[in-house]
Amino acid sequence: MGDKKRTHEIFGEFIDRYTIREAEADGAIVPILYEGRTAHGAVKDGASLDDLFEDLFREHTPEELEAIKPSTPPRARSSRRRT
């Protein structure tokens, strides 16, 4: 492949620019919202699992976190499932 060219280098300068923010303000489109995501990966130890939990549920209050968080350690939960 050769050198990449920008659009205006091929077709000339822009005739007009209409940005997403302008389209939102005009009501032509609804606002576009981006949501951050955490990558899912293997968890190797309990500390990493706690860090992952805190990252995934960081918007919740401490009371909500206690209600969501399991009361047993991960190893105990996985042992119960196998029996």
Q: What is the pLDDT of residues 7-64, one digit of tens each?
A: 888 898 888 999 999 999 999 999 988 887 777 666 666 667 777 778 888 888 888 8
Any residues with CB less than 8 A from the CB of 70 and at least 6 apart, and which?
77
Q: Tell me what pLDDT residue 74 has.
A: 57
Does residue 38 belong to any structural domain of this protein? yes
Is residue 15 assigned to a domain? Answer: yes
| 49 is a domain residue | yes
Q: Quick one: tokens of 14?
A: 């822009």
**Higher-confidence residue: 79 or 16?**
16
Q: Is residue 2 part of a domain?
A: no
Structural domain boundaries, residue 69 = 7-82
* pTM for this prediction: 0.33
Q: Where are the beta strands (DSSP E) in the chain?
A: none
Task: Give the model's pLDDT for residue 2.
Answer: 64
Q: Which residue has the tokens 């860090």?
A: 51
